[in-house]
Homo-oligomer: A and B are copies of this chain.
Amino acid sequence: MSRYWSDIVRRLTPYVPGEQPALAHPVKLNTNENPYPPSPAVVSVIRAELGEHGEALRRYPDPTARALREAVAAHHGLNADQVFAGNGSDEVLAIVFQALLKHDQPILFPDITYSFYPTYARLYDVAYRTIPLDAAFQIRIDDYRQVNGGIIFPNPNAPTGHALPLSDIERLVASNPDSVVVIDEAYVDFGAESAINLIRQYSNLLVVHTTSKSRSLAGMRVGFAFGDAALIDALNRVKDSFNSYPLDRLAQAAAKAAYEDDAWFRDCTAKVVASRERLTARLIALGFEVVPSSANFVFARHQAFDAATLAARLREKEIFVRHFKLPRIDQHLRISVGTDAECDALLDSLKVLMDGHLA
Chain A residues proximal to chain B, CB less than 8 Å: 1-9, 12-18, 20, 28, 31, 33-38, 40, 42-43, 46-47, 50, 52-63, 87-88, 90-91, 94, 98-103, 119-120, 122-123, 178-180, 203-204, 212, 216-221, 228, 230-231, 233-234, 236-238, 240-251, 254
Contact = CB atoms under 8 A, between A and B. Distances in A.
B219 A15 contact: no
Contact of A241 (B42, B55, B99, B120): B120
B57 A42 contact: yes
Contacts of A62: 20
Contacts of A237: 9, 12, 14
B57 A38 contact: yes
Nearest to A204: B4
Contact of A14 (B1, B218, B240): B240
Given A6-B103, A100-B6, A245 B231 contact: no
17 contacts: A2-B230, A2-B234, A4-B234, A12-B237, A17-B244, A33-B59, A36-B58, A46-B54, A57-B216, A57-B217, A57-B254, A58-B216, A61-B219, A87-B243, A88-B243, A90-B242, A218-B245
Kindly list the 7 A-B residue pairs having the minimum CB-CB distance in the complex, ordered from nearest: A14-B240, A2-B230, A6-B102, A219-B249, A58-B216, A57-B219, A43-B54
Nearest to A258: B57
A52 B47 CA distance: 10
B37 A53 contact: yes
Contact of A46 (B37, B180, B250): B250
A246 B91 contact: yes
B248 A220 contact: yes
A349 to B, nearest CB: 21
Most chain B CB within 10 A, of A43, A56, A231, A236, is at A43
A115 B193 CA distance: 44
Contacts of A9: 99, 234, 237-238
Contacts of A204: 4
A163 B268 CA distance: 54
Contact of A219 (B38, B56, B241): B56
A236 B16 CA distance: 12
Given A37-B53, A90-B243, A241-B14, A100 B4 contact: yes
Nearest to A179: B4
A97 B244 CA distance: 16
B57 A15 contact: no
A60 B17 contact: yes
Contacts of A88: 243, 245-246
Contacts of A17: 60, 63, 244-245
Given A46-B54, A61-B218, A88-B246, 4 more contacts: A14-B241, A37-B58, A38-B54, A123-B242
B4 A33 contact: no
A181 to B, nearest CB: 10
Most chain B CB within 10 A, of A90, A119, A244, A249, is at A244
